[in-house]
Amino acid sequence: MFRRNTPDLTRLLIYGALIFVCVYNLAPFLWMISSSLKTEAEVKSYPATFLPHVVTLEPYANILVWGGFITYFMNSAIISFSTAFISSFVGALAGYGFSRYMFKGRTSLMTIFLASQLLPGVLLVGPYFKMLTFIKLYDTRIGLIVAQTTITLPFSVWMLKSFIDTVPVEIDQAAMVDGASRWQAFFKVVLPLIAPGIVATTIFAFLLAWGDLLWALCLLSSPSLKTVTLGITELVGQFRIRWAELMGASIIASLPCVILYLFLQSALTRGFTAGAVKQ
């Protein structure tokens, strides 16, 4: 009887642990949603309550009426989509080169790409600040896009190289025998086969750029160029924190990431699993 009940007990413990982890991770988000539907007075009331006594959309209305937030949101969208596109495109080209060509220094370059991921981003802010100031790209969207692309590019190269490694070289050769150039073989044959990897790296780069605060804080100074993360910090004053609006702004800022994941979650899952197995 003990042996027969042991699997049930193990399953119960596993499910219990999973439920605990889910609740632990979802609780802050649920509290954020609840607080965004309260009045400012109720958010600050003691003792705190989870459910709002009176549901109100006033925090969201205040955020949307605040013209600066829309500008910050659009700045983040432009910077994040540009970073994601450039990182994935250049990463695919570099990954193809590392996968298909054997050249001197290939292993060293791949090692440098990997080692660059081990450096904390805060160590690179100073050099990037001086470099962008020297080339007149400080306080520009282009400068921030360049900086964030260089941060996400090593991962994109490694990720897409692993996908291209799963595509047999014979496919490239067959395309070129049929008259395709190397570029045509890459864009028309190889690239469609690694679409899940492209999606995965694009989402990764987008999320990293969208949630960035450090680089935007150090490389942007004009109010008209601020990103949404910088805009949210304006709700935290020296003597007052507008909690309800802060929660509402955080939810609005997180919507693109949630929507992107909901629509592309299947491709994202395939992307992070298929590239790990070489055919």
Cβ-based neighbours of 207, under 8 Å, separated by 6 or more: 257, 260
Domains of the chain: 58-274 (1.10.3720.10)
What is the Cα–Cα distance from 187 to 180, expressed in whole angstroms? 10
DSSP string, 181-210: -HHHHIIIIIHHHTHHHHHHHHHHHHHHHH
Contact indicator for 201, 156 with CB cutoff of 8 Å? yes
What is the Cα–Cα distance from 209 to 83, expressed in whole angstroms? 7
Report how far apart the first and last C-alpha atoms of the chain are (Å, whole number).
Answer: 45
Cβ-based neighbours of 267, under 8 Å, separated by 6 or more: 195, 196, 199, 200
For the whole model, what pTM was predicted?
0.83
Average pLDDT per run of 10 along the chain, which is 279 residues long? 62 90 90 87 81 86 83 93 94 90 83 80 86 91 92 89 88 86 88 88 91 91 90 80 87 88 71 51
Phi, psi angles (nearest 5°) of residue 236: -105, 105
pLDDT in tens, 49-68: 888 888 888 888 888 887 78
* pLDDT score recorded for residue 6: 60
* pLDDT score recorded for residue 35: 87
* pLDDT score recorded for residue 270: 62
* pLDDT score recorded for residue 1: 46
Contact indicator for 144, 222 with CB cutoff of 8 Å? no
Determine the distance from the C-alpha atom of residue 219 to the mean position of all C-alpha atoms in its chain, rounded to a whole number. 19
* pLDDT score recorded for residue 277: 47
